[in-house]
Amino acid sequence: MAGVLALAILLVVTVNRFYGHSTIAFTLAIVMLLVANAPMVRFNCPQCGKNAFFRGPLVVFWPNRICTRCGHDLDRPDPSQNR
């Protein structure tokens, strides 16, 4: 996620340097961030729905293996959840 953010900023800076201020590059960067965020938002605990990327008040860039709220093992594939 941090790498994608850096890449998006780099893309905007590079395009701005060669083509002047471009809203297309900016839009593209935002789309990239949304695409990078999509699997992150979906990664919720199948039992309590807590997002696996949240550890208390902190947001981490890698998912928890065990849910911090209910202790559900997130590594185990859940047949009720369609991926």
The site for Zn ion (CB under 5 A) is made up of: 45, 47-48, 50, 67, 69-70, 72
Q: Which is closer to Zn ion, CB of 5 or CB of 48?
A: 48
Q: How far is the CB of 73 from Zn ion (least distance, A)?
A: 10
Q: Which is closer to Zn ion, CB of 16 or CB of 81?
A: 81
Q: How far is the CB of 53 from Zn ion (least distance, A)?
A: 13
- Contact between 44 and 34 under an 8 Å Cβ cutoff? The reply is no
- Closest to 16 in 3D by CA, of 5, 28, 4: 28
Q: What is the C-alpha separation between 12 and 42, in angstroms, rounded?
A: 27
Tell the residue number behind the tokens 């850096």, with chain if given: 6
Q: Which is closer to Zn ion, CB of 10 or CB of 70?
A: 70
